[in-house]
Structure 1
Amino acid sequence: MLSSRGSGKLLHGTRFGWAYLASGALVSCLFLGCQRSAPPSSILFIVADTLRADALGVYGASGNPSPELDRLASGNLLFERAYSVTSWTQPAIAAILSGRPPLTYQPGEKLYVSPNHPTLAEQLRARGYSTAAFVANPVMAPELGFERGFATYRGFGEWQRGPGPPRFDKARAGEVSSEALAWLKQQPRDRPWFLYVHYMDPHWPYIPELQHASKFWKGDLPTPEAIEGINIQIRERTYTRAILALARDLYRGAVAELDASIGVLLREAEKHAPTGLVVVVVSDHGEEFGDHGDVLHARTLFEEMLHVPLILRTPDRRRGQIPTPVQVTGIASTVWETAGLGTSPFPAANLLSARGQEGPLRAELFRFPPAVHHAAIIDANWKLILALDGNFLLYRLDTDPKETQNLATTEVATIQRLQSHLGQPSPPASRATISNEDRERLRALGYDFQ
C-alpha cells in the first residue's frame, strides 16, 4: 500500500542495529576503516522532487527563482547534463540509492528496492554513519524498502479520507527542513552522518506560499480557491493555455519556496560537519507544462522529464561545470568515494571518473495497463526514444534541445547505432500488482497510468 508516516512517527530502535555500535572502538574502526588518519565526511543528500533542470537560474531560468542553489552551484560542481533513469519517483529513487539501472525495477511491484542490492544508506550505516531520512513524498513508503539503512525514517503529510477520491496534504519545505535540522543538531561531533532530505514542493498540486508565488504571478494574487481550481484543471487535463501559464507560475513559486528552505539547511549543515561535508542536490525527474502536448509527469521521456539538476559539493570544494551527459545511478559511487570511504561498492561508476562519464545513457518507463515499454538512449548529442506506439523519435540535442525536430526519417544510420543500446525491456508490466487503493492514491498525486 502506498502510505506515509504521519507527523511524529519515526522508525528507529534496536532493529536498525544500534546495539552493535555500542563499542566506541568498533565505531572508530567502522568509520575510520581502522587504517585511516581521519574520519570520512558527513553527507547531506537533497532530493527536490519533480524539479526540472531549467527551473533553476543556473540552468537558464529567468526571474531569479533559485538564488540559494545558484550560489551553491557557482562555488562547487555543476553537472550540466544529468539524466534521471525514468520519469516517476519510485524507480528513480531506487536507482539513485542503489546505484543500479532501471531494468532492476518493475512498476507496480510491492518492493521497489531489491533486498539483494544494498542501498547507500545501508552501506554507510555499516561503516558507522548516523543515518536519517526526512521524506515528504508518500510514494516512498517504508514498506517498499526505501527505509532500509536509515535509523530514522520520517514521513510527512497525511492521506485524508472521506467522500470522493483520497487527498494528500503535503508538507512544505520549511517543515521538512526544520525536522531535519532538529535531528542534525543532536548528532555527536565525532561521528559522520548521512542525512537524506526529500522535498515535495514542486510536485503537483502547485501550492506555494503567496510570498513566493508573488515573484512570478502577474496581477492580483490568487485566492486558495483559485489555486485549487487551477490544479484540478491540470490534473484532469481540461486546462486552457492561460490556465497552463498560471500553473507554470505556481510551479516557479514552489521552486522559489523550496530554494529558500534549502538555503537554511545548507548553512546549518556546514556548522555540524567538523570532518568535512559532501552535499548532493538532485531531482528524481522533471515536469511538463505543455512542452510536448501534455502536463505533469510519468508519461514520456522527453528532456523536460529526464534532464534534472545535479550539484555536488566536495570536501575540498572543487569547482567547475561538467558538460558530459551523466546518469543519476552514478551518484551513490560519487558520494561514497568523495566522502573518503575508498572504492565504491556500487556498480555504477563515480561520476567524476572517466568511466562515470561514458555513454550511452538509458532511461525507461512502463505504462500499465496495458504493458507498454517506453525507452530512451542518450549518446553525446543524440537522443533516441522508442515511443509508446513502437515508432522511433530521434533528436539532436545540441541544435534542438527542446526536441522539436524528429530526425528519424533522415538519420537511419544513427537510429540503427543507438537502437543496439536499447537492450531488452524489463519483464512485462502486466505482472505488476497495484491495488485499486494504491492506484487511487497515485491519481490523487497527479499520476494517471491509463
Structure 2
Amino acid sequence: MAQSPTARKAQNNYLLIILDSCRYDSFVRARPKVMRSLGKVEKRWSYASWTSPSHYNLLMGLLPHTSPKHVYASEYYKHDILRYNERLGAEDISFRSLVPRLNLPTFLKDSLGYKTHAMVSLPVLNPKTPLNTGFDSYRLMDKHNDMRAMVHELRFHEEQPTFYILNVGETHYPYALPQEPPDQWPRISGVHGVFKHLDDEVVGGKLLKKKDKFFDDKKLAELQARQIKAVKYIDNVVEEMFDLLPKNTYVTITADHGELFGEDGYFGHGPIFHEKVFEVPFVEGKLR
C-alpha cells in the first residue's frame, strides 16, 4: 500500500478499549493497578447515554470529553483531535484531517496505512450496523462478557501499524464474569425501560415503587459491587494483554457511558438524563 508522508511518521499501534457501562466511581473504587499504570485517571463525560450512539461518537474520533468553561465547542474539538498525534506517534493530524468522512477507522486506514479491527461484545454493535465502516475486520464476539477471548485474537503487523477498538462487556449488566454460570446472574424485573430489551438485557429506566417490586438500596449496592468486581477482573486481563502488545502501542481505556444504581430512582442507562449516566473513566498512555 502506498502511504502518504504523514503515514510514514505514524509509529504507534493504537488500542481503544471501551468498558461498556462502566461509570467513573466504579472504576475508581476498583483501584485497577494495571490500567492506572497508563497515566492519570480522569473523570470525563460521554457524548451519549447508551451504547450505540456513544460508539458513533467514538468512531468519529471524539473520545469522552472534559467540561471546560469559556471555550467554544469547535476549539475543544480541534484541541482534542490534536491528541491523536501523540496517540499515533504521527504529525500534522488535525480536526480537518478527519473531514469530510469524520470516521476514525477510515482515516487511519486510508490516510495513515493502518490495519483496522474491531471486536465488540454487545449485539447492538453487530457488524450489520453502520458502525462497521473502515474496518479490515469487525467481529461480534461469541460471548458478551469475555475480554480474554479478544486478547487471544489480537494480531499486529510488522509492516504497518494496527488499530483495534475493543468493546468489553463484563462491566455491562448483568456484570457477569465469564466463569459465572448464567443461572447465577442477577435478574432485573420491575424496570420502566423505554428500550428495555434493546441490547438483550435491561437498558434502564425509572424504578417502580419498592412496594411493587424487589428493588431496595441493598440490592442496588450489590449490583454496583458486581460492576466493581468486573473492573478488578478486567485489570487482570489487561495485565495479560500488556505482556502481549508490541512496545510501540498506545492504549486508551474509557467507557461508552455510565450507569445508575438507584440514584434519584433510576437504574441502568439509556434515555435518561442524569450525570451518573454520562460520567466515565478515562486513562491513556504508551507502553514502554
Give the TM-score of the pair, scaled to structure 2.
0.71
Q: 1:145 to 1:245 in 2, by over 3 A?
A: same
Q: Matched residue of 1:133: which SS?
A: strand
In structure 2, which of residues 113, 127, 138 is the aligned counterpart of residue 142 of structure 1?
Answer: 127
Range with greater deviation from structure 2 (279-288 or 188-197)? 188-197
Any gaps of 5 or more consecutive residues in structure 2? 65-98, 192-201, 208-212
**Residue 86 of structure 1 contacts residue 301 of structure 1 at CA under 8 Å; is this kept in 2?**
no
CA contact (8 A) 2:145 2:177 kept: no
C-alpha change, 1:99 and 1:226, in structure 2 (3 Å) is closer
Q: Which amino acid aligns with 2:116?
A: T
> Distance in 1 between the 2:63 and 2:12 partners?
26
- Find 2:58's aligned residue among 86, 89, 96: 96
**Within-5 A mapping of 1:49-88:** 49-57=20-28, 61=29, 64-72=30-38, 76-78=39-41, 80-88=42-50
Alignment-derived partner of residue 313 in structure 1:
285
Q: Does 1:120 pair with 2:104?
A: yes
Residue ranges of structure 1 left out of the alignment (5+ in a row) = 1-20, 103-114, 158-168, 212-222, 318-450
Deviation of 1:233 (Å): 6.3
Match of 2:175 in 1: 206
What's the offset of the Cα at 1:134?
Answer: 0.9
1:246 aligns to what SS in structure 2?
helix
CA deviations on 1:22-55 (whole Å, 9 max, x unpaired) are xxxx2xx33x537x5x543211111111111111
Query: Considering only aligned residues, what root-mean-square deviation do their CA atoms show, in Å?
Result: 2.9
Cα 1:128–1:209 change in 2 (3 A) is closer
Alignment-derived partner of residue 191 in structure 1: 160
Residue 44 of structure 1: aligned partner: 15
Task: Determine the C-alpha separation between the residues in 1 that align with 2:190 and 2:239.
Answer: 32
CA deviation map 1:28-85 (0-9, x unaligned): x33x537x5x54321111111111111123xxx1xx452221222xxx354x231101
Asked which structure has the greater RCO (Cα within 8 Å, sep 6+), the reply is 2
Aligned length: 234
Secondary structure at the counterpart of residue 131 of structure 1:
strand
Does residue 227 in structure 1 map to residue 203 in structure 2?
Answer: no
Q: Percent identity?
A: 24
Q: Which secondary structure does the structure 1 equivalent of 2:47 belong to?
A: coil
Name the CA shift for 1:299/1:150 in 2 (closer, same or farther; >3 Å): same
Which shifted more, 282-291 or 136-145? 136-145
Question: Residue 224 and residue 171 in structure 1: after superposition, are their counterparts in 2 closer, same or farther (change >3 A)?
Answer: closer
- Distance (whole Å) between structure 2 residues aligned to residue 42 and residue 173 of structure 1: 19
Q: CA offset at residue 255 of structure 1?
A: 1.9
Corresponding position: 1:154 with 2:154:
no
Name the residue aligned to 1:410.
Answer: none
Letter in 2 for 1:45: L
Aligned to 1:366: none
Q: What SS does structure 2 have at the residue aligned with 1:150?
A: coil
Please give the per-residue CA displacement for 1:385-410, whole angstroms capped at 9, x wherever unaligned.
xxxxxxxxxxxxxxxxxxxxxxxxxx
Partner-residue secondary structure (3-state), 2:122: coil
Instruction: Please list, as runs of the form range in 1=range in 2, the aligned pairs for 1:248-267 lying within 5 A after superposition.
Output: 248-267=224-243
Give, in whole Å, the separation in 2 of the partners of 1:94 and 1:132.
15
Q: Is the 8 A contact 2:126 2:139 kept in 1?
A: no
Could you report, residue by residue, the CA deviation over 1:217-244 in whole angstroms, capped at 9, with x for unpaired residues? xxxxxx8545344x45675953233322
Task: Please tell me whether the aligned partners of residues 65 and 252 of structure 1 are also in contact (alpha carbons under 8 angstroms).
Answer: no
